[in-house]
Amino acid sequence: MDAIAYRPPRGGMPRVCFRDRHLLVVDKPAGLLSVPGRGERHQDCLLHRVRECHPGARVVHRLDMDTSGLLVLALHPEAQSRLSRAFQGRRVEKHYLAVVAGRPPGVRGAIDLPLAADWPN
């Protein structure tokens, strides 16, 4: 039995926000793995759902399971190579929005905590 049960959101192909002949940008819902995890129970993922409509789609980067947002997928090997290098070289600008409960103190601040895996994927 899993310490934390994986319950991906229902639905098929995520909403496509942009597509051209090189790449696809989709809206990943929170609760869905970007790529398959370990074991049969963790095979439902964004990549598999996208490949139902776009069989050649390739992962360029990932978002954490509990994170929603735009995910870029390459549609051919050359695009995957170029996009992967752009992400690795930090030439892709990312913006994050945090949703919080309550009102944080101050207008600005920083959270300086170590990252850790919260379940065995």
Q: Could you list the active site residues?
A: 64
Nearest to 4 by CA among 51, 27, 37: 37
85-104 residues labelled b (16+ CB within 10 A) or e (exposed): eeeeeeeeeeeeeeeeeeee
Q: Which two tokens stand for residue 18?
A: 């942009």
Pairing of strands 58-59, 69-74: antiparallel
Helix, strand, or coil (residue 79): helix
Structure tokens at 34: 């970007």
